[in-house]
Amino acid sequence: MLINLSIQDYAVVDQLEVELAAGMTCITGETGAGKSIMLDALGLCIGDRAASGAIRPGAPRTDIAACFDVSQNTRAQVWLSERDLEAAGDCILRRTITAEGRSRAYINGSPATLSDCADLGQLLVDIHSQHAHQSLLRRPVQRSLLDTYACAETLIGEVSETAQRWRVLQEEYCRLAGQTEKSDARRALLTYQIEELKILNPQPGELGALEARHKLLSNAAYIIDSANDIAAVCEAQRDQLARLVQLANDDRMTGSATDNLRELLQSALIQLDEAQAETARFAASVELDPEGLRAAEDRLSALHDLARKHRVQPDALHELLATLQAELESLAGGTEQLASLEEALGDTALAWHTHAKALSERRREAAVLLAQRVMETLTDLAMNKCVFEIALIPFKDDNPDPRGAEDIEFLIATNPGATPGPLNKVASGGELSRISLALQVVAADTATSPTMVFDEVDVGIGGGVAEVVGDLLRTLGQRSQVLVVTHQPQVAAKGHQHLLVTKTGEDAVHSKLTLLAGESRIEEVGRMLGGAKLTDSTLAHAREMLESS
């Protein structure tokens, strides 16, 4: 529960600190004194966005801290422990906002995001505002109220999660299906191109070898003739070279110079013989092969033609074949993936329908109970002739929806025999306020937050109805901590604790908070009953109201 709230330089508050107790605490004061400012400040601590004018004029910053006792709040303890933010029994949420608009939040002294503060705040406090009856006209709010009353949080999570997963799969399926449809023509083209390349069967390194063979066969006649000429010349020159060797070997050729000459001539003769033999071997290896030449020309032409067709180099055709085959395999994989996605979609939709069916059953059961409880409360609020119903309206689209299989609509008939209709078409402003209050009180009875805040939810009612409201809120206060901002003396008299907010100052307005007890509380309830001028009868009435509570 909330045990302390400290506010510095917020709106018209310069410095305020209040200690809060268990039970029902009423907060009263004149219009404009700043009763709701305390609750607005609390809202900032639990993640609300700061409105313009949040900082007191002239102040450099506003600083707000709310201290909660979480010793009995297991969910809050677990949340804090999971984030290494636990403290001994207490949890302090702090918010600072500078005049320049910079905002910082802290949980137990550690920096935190507003989202974290809001998540933790949902485990600590539940705020029912004076404008709740306006939001009550919207179906999402009505659905949330019913689901909260039904304690369907787990089912809603399962329905939402499977619906979101189905939607992701559906988007991927549609994307892939579109690609698959577009790729039919591509697949046909790839199949044709791959078959064409397979028929040609280009090999790595084939082009160089083929070009060399083509060059050899093209020049075969010239090569053979030239080889024969070389052989003939070698034969003719050999006799002369042999004669030179003979002369050099004569015994009369002496001296170191002749030795070198003999070696050179002998080497030349040997090389000439080797050249003649190599020429003979080369000439023998070359054949006139017109058919082989035509085959090489045809192969080269086919390689170059297909390379031009695909705009690649002829020696890259074998790589192109591998690339096209890989692309075709990927397209085939897309078809397999499409079938896999279709199966996953079916499984996910089946899981969603299972969860949604369970949620619908929970909602139907809760709708009957909630409607009965609301009608009982409305009877206490002088609307005993009305009929309140909760309709479950199935969605026309059967696709998985994160909201479940149906929408929720609250219906009311305020006159006997009338057909219940939507709140915004049937209920008047005053009736809507009481319906909202009844729903909030009934819903709060099943709420898990240890602190509940009611900000002027009794607006538009008075007299005996206001006393009933006070009794309802006091009953809630016996189970949880209840903070109530009220203008109704009948409600204020029911509180276990009474705080008075007053305005002080002339040049600048400031708010002051006072804990009332004894005569001061009697006087405040009397003021609420009869205005600024207190009479003996008014004070007596106020004393009687407080004593009867």
The whole-angstrom separation of Cα 415 and Cα 350 is 44
- Determine the angle formed by the axes of helices 463-477 and 429-444, rounding to 10 degrees: 20
pLDDT for 508: 53
- Which two tokens mark 21? 């107790």
Residue 117, pLDDT above cutoff 90: yes
With cut-offs at 50, 70 and 90, classify the pLDDT of residue 397. Answer: confident
Q: What is the pLDDT of residues 79-101, one digit of tens each?
A: 999 999 877 778 999 999 998 88
Asked if 34 contacts 511 with a C-beta cutoff of 8 angstroms, the reply is yes
Whole-model pTM? 0.62
Q: Where in the chain is the domain with CATH 3.40.50.300?
A: 1-129+456-516
Q: What is the pLDDT of residues 342-380, one digit of tens each?
A: 999 999 999 999 999 999 999 999 999 999 999 998 888
With cut-offs at 50, 70 and 90, classify the pLDDT of residue 130. Answer: low
Reading phi first (left if > 0) and then psi (alpha if -120 to 50, else beta), residue 32 is in: left
Sequence-ordered alpha helix ranges (H) in 381-486: 423-426, 429-444, 463-477
Q: Which phi and psi (to 5°) does residue 422 adopt?
A: -60, 150
Number of residues assigned to the chain: 549
Higher pLDDT among residues 251 and 371, named by residue = 371
With cut-offs at 50, 70 and 90, classify the pLDDT of residue 254. Answer: low
Determine whether 260 is exposed, middle or buried from the number of CB atoms within 10 Å of its CB (0-12, 13-18, 19+). exposed
Residue 387, pLDDT above cutoff 60: yes
pLDDT for 114: 93
pLDDT for 277: 82
The whole-angstrom separation of Cα 298 and Cα 250 is 62
Residue 133, pLDDT above cutoff 70: no
Torsion (CA) 351, 356, 358, 362 in degrees, nearest 10: 160
pLDDT for 339: 85
pLDDT for 40: 87
Q: Which phi and psi (to 5°) does residue 387 adopt?
A: -120, 125
pLDDT for 38: 84
Q: How far is CA 18 from CA 7, 21, 501, in A?
A: 9, 10, 11
Residue 447, pLDDT above cutoff 70: no
Closest CA relative to residue 432, chosen from 474, 476, 466, 386: 386
Query: In this prediction, what percent of the chain has a pLDDT beyond 70?
Result: 93
Determine whether 89 is exposed, middle or buried from the number of CB atoms within 10 Å of its CB (0-12, 13-18, 19+). exposed
Higher pLDDT among residues 340 and 448, named by residue = 340
Closest CA relative to residue 457, chosen from 443, 446, 47: 443
What's the farthest any 2 CA atoms get from each other in the chain?
168
Residue 478, pLDDT above cutoff 90: no
pLDDT for 345: 94
pLDDT for 63: 95
Q: How far is CA 250 from CA 247, 254, 257, 262, in A?
A: 5, 9, 14, 10
Average pLDDT over residues 387-403: 93
pLDDT for 333: 62
- Which two tokens mark 182? 């577009």
**CB-based contacts of 455: which residues, under 8 Å, 6+ apart?**
36, 39, 127, 128, 129, 130, 485
The whole-angstrom separation of Cα 173 and Cα 345 is 9
Task: Give the lowest-confidence range in 40-49, 130-139, 340-349, 409-418.
Answer: 130-139
Mean residue pLDDT across the chain: 86
Using alpha carbons only, what angle is made at residue 479 by residues 142 and 137, rounded to the nearest 5 degrees?
15
pLDDT for 346: 94
Strands 421-422 and 510-516: unpaired
Kindly indicate whether the domain formed by 1-129+456-516 is annotated with CATH number 3.40.50.300: yes
Q: How far is CA 237 from CA 262, 269, 293, in A?
A: 17, 9, 35
- Which two tokens mark 255? 């001296």
In terms of average pLDDT, the best of 117-121, 231-235, 423-427, 448-452 is: 117-121
Query: Residue 351: what residue type?
Result: A
Residue 307, pLDDT above cutoff 60: yes
Q: DSSP class of residue 316? A: G
Q: What is the Cβ-side half-sphere exposure of residue 239, based on CA atoms within 13 angstroms?
A: 4
Average pLDDT over residues 150-173: 94
Average pLDDT over residues 163-188: 84
> Among positive and negative, which fits the CA dihedral 545, 547, 548, 549?
positive
Give the Cβ contact number of residue 492 at 10 Å.
28
Q: Which phi and psi (to 5°) does residue 14 adopt?
A: -90, -45
Average pLDDT over residues 530-548: 86
Sequence-ordered alpha helix ranges (H) in 139-255: 139-149, 153-200, 206-218, 220-248
Residue 234, pLDDT above cutoff 60: yes
Tell me the helix, strand and coil percentages in the chain, rounded to 5. Answer: 60, 15, 25
The whole-angstrom separation of Cα 439 and Cα 396 is 28
Average pLDDT over residues 325-351: 85
Average pLDDT over residues 403-428: 88
The whole-angstrom separation of Cα 237 and Cα 207 is 41
DSSP-assigned states of every residue in 395-425: -S--S--TT-SEEEEEEEE-STTPPPEEHHH
Q: What is the pLDDT of residues 54-77, one digit of tens each?
A: 888 888 999 999 999 998 888 899
Asked if 420 contacts 413 with a C-beta cutoff of 8 angstroms, the reply is yes
Higher pLDDT among residues 178 and 412, named by residue = 412
Query: Residue 33: what residue type?
Result: A
Average pLDDT over residues 251-262: 73
Residue 166, pLDDT above cutoff 80: yes
pLDDT for 408: 95
Residue 134, pLDDT above cutoff 70: no
